[in-house]
Structure 1
Amino acid sequence: MSRRQRKAHARCAPRRDNGGGLMTAMTEAWGKFAICVALIAVAGPVLARYGDIIAQRTRLSRSWIGLLLLATATSLPELFTGVSAVTAANAPNIAVGDALGSCVFNLAILVVLDALNRDGSVFTRMGQGHILTAGFGVILIGFAAASLLLGASQFAPKFFHIGVFTPILIVLYLVAMRAAFDYEARLAIAGAVSGIEPEIGLGRAIVGYLMAAAVVAGAGVWLPFVGLDISHAMGWRATFVGTLFVAAATSAPELIVTLAAVRLGALDMGIANLLGSNLFNMLVLAIDDIAYQPGSLFAAASPAHAVTAIAAVIMSGIVIVALLYRPSTRFFGVVGWTSLSLSTVYFLASYVIYLHGH
């Protein structure tokens, strides 16, 4: 082999090694992502099953159980992902993108429910009490959008090291939970839920609920690191990865639990889980801001996340209109104008985030 050939061979060898290393990193990252999704998805039906049993044993309504108990459990990935992202992984964009991306993903799940409901529009079967939850969602997500836009400007008021809107988010979440409980009580919705394995006691149901929640939480802790691995391997910005991929994974429990609740005949419990998770996601943002010690999380995150927040506000508004108007028209016998509107907003927001983060 000549000297020129040896030099050419030496120049090419590192490229093959680097290419092989990149492919290995991509395979490992996506493999870990698939494991996280699988773990979270497996715990979903268990949460729905035991949540419905807890509703029966405690004589609480399915809507209240879905709003508080299931929404909290299915939002644990967002909580643990956010906290670990801002503390251990130092990835504020993963945390913010996950929380806000999960909100739009949760609302997009309504499109799936509408398509699966062959008897008519799913929005005609939903209780109007969900308007209250969706309305509070508009308020809380709107405050989050304002925090992101102010954080990107020179005028970014802070309360110690956290954003000025963070305490407001916490208070509003507590007010929303109290208002929803009072609404349920005034309408006397709370009552017995029948037909869900009455032989299972409350203690066993709580244990099963906690075990499923532990699986969800464990996978949630792992997700921000997997998201960063995917971001580095694919050459994507953390804004895009957090909003789409990590948010979709951490919203897997909401999807699985809602579908399981519908199969149990508890549609309102599933819907309350989705809308309640959006409220809890805003509480998660407040907790993430407190855990982020370098400063305000909203100032450190990309202002592009405001696009996701605005999309979530618009989609929540569409749901409120649909719950009041009760549209029954369906295109091609599959979905109605509400689902088409929700899908359009979701894909437009995703495309904007993709363009910003690619």
Structure 2
Amino acid sequence: MIYLEYLVVAAFVVILSIKASNYIDLLDKNTELSGAFLGGIMLSAVTSLPELFTSISATVLLNRPGLCMGNILGSDLFNLVAISVIILFYFKGFSKGRVSKSYRNVAFLVFLIYIFIALNFMDIVNVRILNLSITSVLILLVYILGAKYLAVANDVDTDEDALDYHASMSTKLSIKQIGFRFFLASVGIIAFSIMLTYLTDQISVKLNLGQGLAGALFLGIATSLPELASTITLFKMRNYNIAVGNIVGSNLFNFIILSVADVLSLGSGVYAVPDDKTIALLVFGLVATPLFWIMLRFKNRTTQGICSVGIICCYAAFLLI
């Protein structure tokens, strides 16, 4: 019964996420707001709401910070796998599509955060001031810089294919109605995300899984379903710029969640005593993120194909070891 409940709740998260991405695309079509701001900040923040509320619930309500770390690292790696698989299916369109150069800078900053966490795990940079880790402070500083890149990532025009798609779509909704429906979808994502946390904890106990593995699989994948659903939807709309902004923005925003959970946690915080699966997530994230940067830097089919397969192999290796 608990598995059925998990699937039903996850399905609602996906449906609401598709709705949210549709409303973001309508805002992109009907307002002067930049696609980079809508995808990199607004949509990425909303699709990261499941990670935020599941991580806070796991840390504060359940006192299981390992679920939080596994959730965030698992979500970020799964996000890269998801867009890599989608790119393989939309190979031709994406290779010709326009994507902001600023997203490469954000991907590099995400890689930098991975290094900070690795240094903490190795006990090289592991200092706590009151109830806050220096790693969380560094993550916050990097996020501020990354948000700046996301906000100004408007150096591309809308693709002609996307314009043709938009021309074929029409809506009778006003800007206020679109915004209100986007808000309702966001609230729904939050509510069902909190339910996912409790269901995941029950499943992990029932299957006797470690916190890192349970967080990566049952929270990390489930809370990444919004990014997956919205990215597929945006690729179908040929809105590649917002789709990439959603992924890199979500991965950056997810690490801020670690900082928030670290402040709210008791004792040694969310970085303490990582298990083997959590360390594996970190290592493969350190490999997959540069591959994604290369994919954005060299937009030819060969490079994108090799990097996409490499990222997928990272996740497969995590599951197998």
Q: Same fold (TM over 0.5)?
A: yes
Gaps of 5+ in 1: 1-27, 353-358
Q: How does 1:204-223 map to 2 (within 5 A)?
A: 204-223=177-196
Using a 3 Å threshold, how does the CA distance of structure 1 residues 100 and 118 change in structure 2: closer, same or farther?
Answer: closer
1:269 matched to 2:242? The reply is yes
Q: Which letter maps to 1:127?
A: V
Aligned with residue 131 of structure 2, among 148, 161, 166 = 161
Q: Which letter maps to 1:142?
A: I
Aligned with residue 127 of structure 1, among 99, 110, 117 = 99
Q: How does 1:107-118 map to 2 (within 5 A)?
A: 107-117=80-90
Deviations for 1:168-200, whole angstroms, at most 9, x for unmatched residues?
Answer: 21121121111232343xx37599975453532
2: CA distance, partners of 1:276 / 1:85: 23
Aligned with residue 212 of structure 2, among 229, 239, 249 = 239
SS in 2 for 1:297: coil
- Structure 1 partner of 2:306: 337
Using a 3 Å threshold, how does the CA distance of structure 1 residues 128 and 55 change in structure 2: closer, same or farther?
Answer: closer
Is this contact kept in 2: 1:36–1:249, CA < 8 A? no
Q: Which letter maps to 2:118?
A: A
1: CA distance, partners of 2:195 / 2:287: 31
Q: Which letter maps to 1:101?
A: G
Q: How does 1:42-121 map to 2 (within 5 A)?
A: 42-117=15-90, 119=92
Is this contact kept in 2: 1:124–1:323, CA < 8 A? no
Q: Which letter maps to 2:112?
A: I
- Structure 2 partner of 1:290: 263
| Greater shift in the superposed pair: 189-198 or 43-52 | 189-198
Is this contact kept in 2: 1:92–1:300, CA < 8 A? no
Aligned with residue 202 of structure 1, among 167, 175, 191 = 175
Quote the offset at 1:263 in angstroms: 1.6
Q: Which letter maps to 2:82?
A: I
1:256 matched to 2:229? The reply is yes
Q: Which letter maps to 2:54?
A: T
How many pairs align? 315
Deviations for 1:80-101, whole angstroms, at most 9, x for unmatched residues?
Answer: 0000101111111111100110
Aligned with residue 308 of structure 1, among 281, 286, 297 = 281
Is this contact kept in 1: 2:98–2:156, CA < 8 A? no
Q: Which letter maps to 2:127?
A: P
SS in 2 for 1:329: helix
Is this contact kept in 2: 1:40–1:219, CA < 8 A? yes
1: CA distance, partners of 2:117 / 2:291: 19
Quote the offset at 1:51 in angstroms: 0.6
Aligned with residue 280 of structure 1, among 248, 253, 259 = 253
1:139 matched to 2:112? The reply is yes
1: CA distance, partners of 2:315 / 2:67: 19
2: CA distance, partners of 1:324 / 1:170: 26
Is this contact kept in 1: 2:110–2:251, CA < 8 A? yes
Q: Which letter maps to 1:75?
A: S
1: CA distance, partners of 2:274 / 2:261: 12
Deviations for 1:262-315, whole angstroms, at most 9, x for unmatched residues?
Answer: 122211111111111000100111111111123322125436423212312321
Is this contact kept in 1: 2:46–2:186, CA < 8 A? yes
SS in 2 for 1:265: coil
- Structure 2 partner of 1:180: 150
Question: What's the TM-score once normalised by structure 1's chain length?
Answer: 0.81
SS in 2 for 1:326: coil
Gaps of 5+ in 2: none
| Greater shift in the superposed pair: 135-144 or 163-172 | 135-144
2: CA distance, partners of 1:189 / 1:177: 20
Question: What's the TM-score once normalised by structure 2's chain length?
Answer: 0.90
Is this contact kept in 2: 1:47–1:209, CA < 8 A? yes
Please provide the CA RMSD for this pair: 2.4
Deviations for 1:112-155, whole angstroms, at most 9, x for unmatched residues?
Answer: 212321536x35535252212211211123223333332xx8x7
Quote the offset at 1:38 in angstroms: 0.8
Q: Which letter maps to 1:213?
A: S
SS in 2 for 1:336: helix
